Amino acid sequence: MSKLILDFVLLLTMPIVRFIREGRDISCRPGENLRELALREGLELYGLKGTLGNCGGCGQCITCFISVEGGKSDSLSPLTEVEKIKLRNRPSNWRLACQCIVKSSLAILTKPQAPPSNSKALIQQAIEEVLPK
């Protein structure tokens, strides 16, 4: 198979992460870390506390919260042991971006601890738009 065909096949199978707050759909390779994807794309993943001092992706500062709002239940890697401890008093759809590996397309809300005033409408609109498989 030629490289062009392989690149095309890869493009067709790349997951899409819909960043609801930011209004962006970003494709990534399966197995990519969600925090690294967001930072590479210039998205503001952290609030003020996290911007001033985050752990660099080790799961210790719990400042890279995201909430999963759409996609399959296994769109991300399973909860890590760190997340099971750090998120035990948080909503069940919350994750730490630094601990998440993208497996398939999904919709997320960054900084769910400080949702935008129109978050319900944004989330509804985002999940009504079909995500690529």
pLDDT digits (tens, 9 = 90+) for 30-52: 999 999 999 999 998 987 777 77
The C-alpha atoms of residue 17 and residue 49 are separated, in whole angstroms, by 24
* Beta bridge partners of residue 67, listed in sequence order: 94, 109
What lies within 8 Å, CB to CB, of 83 at 6+ separation is 59, 95, 96, 99
Q: Among 17, 70, 61, 15, which residue's Cα sits nearest to residue 39?
A: 17
* Overall CATH class of domain 15-128: alpha beta
Q: pTM value?
A: 0.86
pLDDT tens sequence across 73-90? 999 999 999 999 999 999
